[in-house]
Each structure stands twice: as C-alpha cells, then as structure tokens.
Amino acid sequence: MGGFGAFGVSTAAYGFGVEPAQLRVTRYDLSPPQWPADFRLKIAVIADLHACDPWMSLDRIEGIVARTNGLAPDMTVLLGDYVVSQRHVRRSIPAGEWAAVLGRLKAPLGVHAILGNHDWWDDRTVQREGKGHPVARQALEAAGIPVYENDAQRLVHAGRPFWLAGLGDQLAYVPARRFRPLRRVGVDDLGVTLGKITDSSPVILLAHEPDIAPRVPSRVALQLSGHTHGGQVRLLGWSPVAPSGQELSYGHIRKNCDIIVSGGLGCSVMPFRVGVPPEIVLVTLGNAGQAVS
C-alpha cells in the first residue's frame, strides 16, 4: 500500500509539475495516395495553446514560436483553441497579447489558422447573439494571420499547386449559453468548404475536432486536427478520456484520407499531462515513413 501510495504521489507530481512544461517536436513523414510522391512539403502544426498564466504564458508561447520557426517549415498552420479553458489559472491572457506573439511565426507559404470550440465558447456576445466573429478571430487577423471558416485557398509551392481548406468549428455554440433554441451547434459546412476547390490539385483540410473524419472524402489527401490533447493522459496507446473517441484520440490515423491528430500544447480542465507531452507537429508530405519524436 505504501508503494502504491508513493507511486500515486510521484505520478501526480510528474503530471502536474513536469510533463505539462515539456515541449517536443513530433515528426510525421507521409506519402498519402492523393499526394504526389515527389512533391515535398513541410507543415508545422500548432494546436490547443490555451493561453494563460502560469501554464501557457507569453514567454512560453514565444518559445514555441521560436522553436517552430527553427524547424524551417514551408507553411505553419494553427488549429484553434488559443484561449484558456480551465479555472486553475492566475490570469487569462487577452487575445491581442497571444495573437501578437503568434504573429511572429514565419514561413514561406505563410501562417494559416482556424478556430476551436473554446475560441467560440469564450466569446459571450457571439454565444448570446448566435452570430459574429469571435474575439480570437479578430485578434489573429489583426496580427496578420488569416482565419479560415468553411473556406479554401489555392497555394503554390515549388511551382506546384495545392489547396488548403479550413472547416468551421463543429462545436461552436453551447446550447445552454443561448437564450433561443439553436438550429445547430456547429458552424462547419464540409460541402461548402470543399466546393470552393476548383481544380484537381491535392487538398489539405484543417479541422479543429477530428470527428469530421468519417465524412471527409478521399478527394482530401490529409486532415490535420487537434482538440483531443491526446486525452492529456495516454497509457500504452490508450487515452482514458477521449473526446472524439479512441480511434481519433491521437496520432496518425488512416480513413478515407490520412489524418494527423496533434496532442496539442496546452491543457484543458486542469494542468495535467501523463504520456502525451506538449508537442509541435511537423508533417513532411512526399516521404514515406513513421512518426519520430
């Protein structure tokens, strides 16, 4: 009993005090069938910052930005949930402050963003009125970072085109916070998003929640998602808490297209992680291989 008690105390201390402060780069080298094998593209992925003091301070975000820029990606994508989502904080960092730091991200093909559910839930005016752009979106755009909501843009790298599509959030509105009934919870429209793609060039889809995966057609080469934090606790490839289900909880998954679910950087509910350290994801398309941390 004493041994189990000591193990529990040490695990709790590690989960609260050690792992949440770590930062690793997880690399995926992929060759999806829909992506030309000789078309090399490096994508840095930042997900689920949940900016707050002391757990995700501006200094820590600056370090994440510097580490990401140091990876020399061709493109950097931000997958949402920039705002704090827990009560155990000293300060919620205003959107203008964390967005200004993210504005220092640099990549030849630019920095591109979508919003997450907490970015929507945190804006009480948008929740009450059932429309509008959340403060997080306004802050990102003020920092020079475009935010995609059911939109797509054609990009060209090394003389070859591809499409970057961004899905609206699937959990944007919380029914309990609204005074009138909701027709739907999300602002996502996959049909509209993919309908903006006008040629046969390969497609990368950004979707905060990975839940959309079963509906994503094979026309898409790669889906990049966050939201789950890998459960924040992951043991032997299993997450006790899996917001999007075990299959979509973390890592590289194959359905109609290749899917990468990031474990994210911040924490939700409480600042605790075991077995899934905060990570920047670096995806290299046009190469076959496995994830390397």
Report how far residue 160's alpha carbon sits from residue 109's, in angstroms, rounded to the nearest whole number. 12
31-74, pLDDT tens digit by residue?
999 999 999 999 999 999 999 999 999 999 999 999 999 999 99
What is the per-residue pLDDT for 97? 98
Q: Which has the closest alpha carbon to 49: 24, 94, 80?
A: 80
In a domain, 218, yes or no: yes
> What DSSP state is assigned to residue 25?
E
Task: Using pLDDT thresholds of 50, 70 and 90, give the confidence band for residue 18.
Answer: confident
Report how far residue 249's alpha carbon sits from residue 281's, in angstroms, rounded to the nearest whole number. 15
Plot region of 227 (φ>0 → left; ψ -120 to 50 → alpha; else → beta): left
Element of type H or E holding 30: strand 24-30
How many domains does the chain divide into? 1
In a domain, 134, yes or no: yes
Q: Answer whether residue 184 shows pLDDT above 80.
A: no
Residue 95 class from Cβ within 10 Å (0-12 exposed, 13-18 middle, 19+ buried)? buried
Report how far residue 171's alpha carbon sits from residue 74's, in angstroms, rounded to the nearest whole number. 30
Burial 209-221, CB ≥16 within 10 A → b, else e:
bbbbbeebeeebb
Task: Using pLDDT thresholds of 50, 70 and 90, give the confidence band for residue 30.
Answer: very high
| Phi, psi (rounded to 5 degrees) for 30 | -125, 150
What is the per-residue pLDDT for 17? 59
Residue 292 class from Cβ within 10 Å (0-12 exposed, 13-18 middle, 19+ buried)? exposed
In a domain, 293, yes or no: no
What is the per-residue pLDDT for 236? 87
DSSP string, 88-138: --SEEPPHHHHHHHHTT---TT-EEE---HHHHHT-HHHHHHT-S--HHHH
Task: Using pLDDT thresholds of 50, 70 and 90, give the confidence band for residue 7.
Answer: very low
In a domain, 291, yes or no: no
CATH number of residue 65's parent domain:
3.60.21.10
pTM of the model: 0.91
Range of the domain at 22: 2-285
In a domain, 292, yes or no: no
Average pLDDT over residues 194-211: 98
Q: Answer whether residue 293 shows pLDDT above 80.
A: no
